[in-house]
Amino acid sequence: MIAIIFYFSATGNSQYAAERIAQATNDRVISIGLALKDKHLTFDVSTEERIGFVIPTYAWTVPGIVADFIQQAVFSSNVSSYVYAVLTCGENTGKEAVALHSLLKEKGIGLNASFDLVMPDNFILWTDIPSEDRLDEILASADETIDQAISTIIDKQGNFSDSQLPEDLFMPLISISSSEGTSKFFATEACNGCGLCQELCPMSCIELNSENRPSWEGLCAMCLSCLHRCPVQAVQYGSETIGKTRYINPHVEDRLENIY
Ligand SMILES: Cc1cc2nc3c(=O)[nH]c(=O)nc-3n(C[C@H](O)[C@H](O)[C@H](O)COP(=O)(O)O)c2cc1C
Ligand code: SF4
Ligand code: SF4
């Protein structure tokens, strides 16, 4: 009996959820970010008992990087597995499940169940990270939702019903060519040139200059990994993020392996 969980995670919420489900089900996890970076895009899922997608919500729909992965990936045909999605979000998932269903359908994969999982909101351009106490409450409530999802997944129950498609199936990848002066990302004087932002960027769009100072160029997934994971909080996005608290899911913050 084998089963697989695909996940994408910039700040660890979806990674944590995927790993907790995997612990309970003995399923194996595959990082979408690493698969894209390694160009490992062919998957024989014909014998999988279950297939899971644990992904964040971007602009009430599927992150562009996840859509890109699904569109590029070659899955084996005749997929008859039980397929579920766990959609992490800061507030609500909008029409993400329907959009994901539509993307998967193109690959001959159905969607049996989907679970909305409210977790700390990492989109600090528009919001602030809550107090420690509030974070603890959100994470405790998320654990309860994950437990309920695990029971449903193990019992292979369905709860997904198709509804009206959103206008945008996925959040477009944003072109932030710094050479054209459109990038709002920059590193402050606090940058120590450690190179972590470049190493972690799932889109490989951060370059270090001869003084090890990063610049942003190319197609960005807007995942905010570089911004939240910089050890000295040097990465800013315009003036929107100055002085704001950063966030990494506390259950996975000490581990850099398997991120995305
Ligand atoms: C570009 C972007 C857009 C987002 N849009 C939404 C949204 O529409 N609704 C919502 O509830 N949360 C939204 N969020 C918050 C994330 O979905 C949420 O924090 C998620 O758990 C992050 O997952 P991760 O830690 O695995 O990266 C957004 C985050 C980012 C970076
Ligand atoms: S992670 Fe932060 S400190 Fe390290 S190179 Fe990038 S901006 Fe500089
Ligand atoms: S530049 Fe930053 S926000 Fe954009 S894809 Fe890379 S890590 Fe994510």
Q: Over the stretch 75-128, which tens digit does the pLDDT of each residue have? A: 876 667 899 999 999 999 999 999 999 999 999 899 999 999 999 999 999 999
Q: Alpha-carbon distance 252 to 254, whole Å?
A: 6
Q: What is the pTM of this model?
A: 0.96
Q: How far is ligand 1, taken at its centre, from the CA of residue 25, in Å?
A: 25
**Proximal ligand: closest to the CA of 61:** 1
Does residue 92 have its Cβ closer than 6 Å to ligand 2? no
Does residue 165 have its Cβ closer than 6 Å to ligand 2? no
Q: Strand locations in the chain, DSSP E?
A: 2-7, 28-31, 42-43, 48-56, 62-63, 74-75, 82-89, 113-118, 170-171, 174-175, 185-187, 206-208, 214-216, 219-220, 235-237
> Do 75 and 199 have their domain in common?
no
Ranges of residues in the chain whose predicted pLDDT is under 70: 1, 77-79, 180, 256-260
> Do 49 and 144 have their domain in common?
yes
From the CB of residue 34, how many other CB atoms can be counted at a distance below 10 Å?
Answer: 15
Q: Give me the pLDDT at residue 77, please.
A: 63
Domain that holds residue 202: 171-237
Instruction: Ligand 2 pocket test: pick from 178, 194, 225, 226 the residue with the most ligand atoms within 8 Å of its Cβ.
Output: 194
Q: Give me the pLDDT at residue 154, please.
A: 95
Q: Give me the pLDDT at residue 258, please.
A: 52
> Do 28 and 126 have their domain in common?
yes
> Do 113 and 175 have their domain in common?
no
Q: Give me the pLDDT at residue 168, please.
A: 87
Q: Alpha-carbon distance 118 to 93, whole Å?
A: 9
Q: Which of 121, 154, 187 is a domain's end point?
A: 154
